[in-house]
Amino acid sequence: MRGSFSALLRNEDIDEFCEQYSIEFEWLEDFSILQNNQYISHHQVKHYNDDKFSSYIDAIVTILSRQQGRISENDLFKYIGYYAHINSKDFNKNKYIETLVSRLIKENVVDQSRFIKVNKISNLDGYNDNVVTAVNNYLDDFITIKDQYLNGCVYVHTSKKIKIPHQDLSGYKDIKKSNVSLKYG
């Protein structure tokens, strides 16, 4: 891609460049760059008023989960929020998602390591139809997300320089809880 930008600087065929490259916003990541409709990079942008590595764990876990084909609690919650419209001041997001993921494990939708085993459920006793719809849409989209995440590099952009972690990545509780592999991520 770098050579293509050099060609632009030399005022070479900008129309051809624009036909080959595109930017996709807010689908797989904050933005992705495509060349000839194929993903070449994904970009996660974070603007936290913090430079501690631990503040960025959620973003890292989500990226690793997507790459490895594991259920992502953050992604799943976005679908639940969109389809089920959960609004309550007493609502505990983490507890709700942990309970739902445990239920999906019990129903053999995902395994203990959170790999997705089936891509559709008919019902979940105790959950309303909107939650079932949200889970089914997530499972359906996840196959596309996983496949596309394997194409191209993933970058995390921050407004601050992040400090080097003070411990091994496997020591962070959110990484342990997610079951993502740091070896192959």
State the pLDDT at residue 180: 67
What's the angle, vertex CA 135, arms to CA 132 and CA 139, rounded to 5? 140
40 within some domain? yes
Distance from C-alpha of 162 to C-alpha of 14, rounded to nearest angstrom: 36
152 within some domain? yes
**pLDDT (tens digit per residue) in 23-77:** 999 888 899 999 999 889 889 998 888 888 888 888 888 888 888 888 888 889 8
31 within some domain? yes
State the pLDDT at residue 184: 42
Distance from C-alpha of 53 to C-alpha of 147, rounded to nearest angstrom: 28
185 within some domain? no
Q: What is the pTM of this model?
A: 0.72
Q: Count structural domains, the chain.
A: 1
Left (φ > 0), alpha (ψ -120 to 50) or beta: where does 43 sit? beta
29 within some domain? yes
- Quote the crossing angle between the two packed helices 129-149 and 73-84, to the nearest 10°: 140
33 within some domain? yes
184 within some domain? no
Domain that holds residue 30: 2-178
**pLDDT (tens digit per residue) in 87-138:** 666 678 888 888 999 999 999 999 998 888 888 888 888 888 999 999 999 9
183 within some domain? no
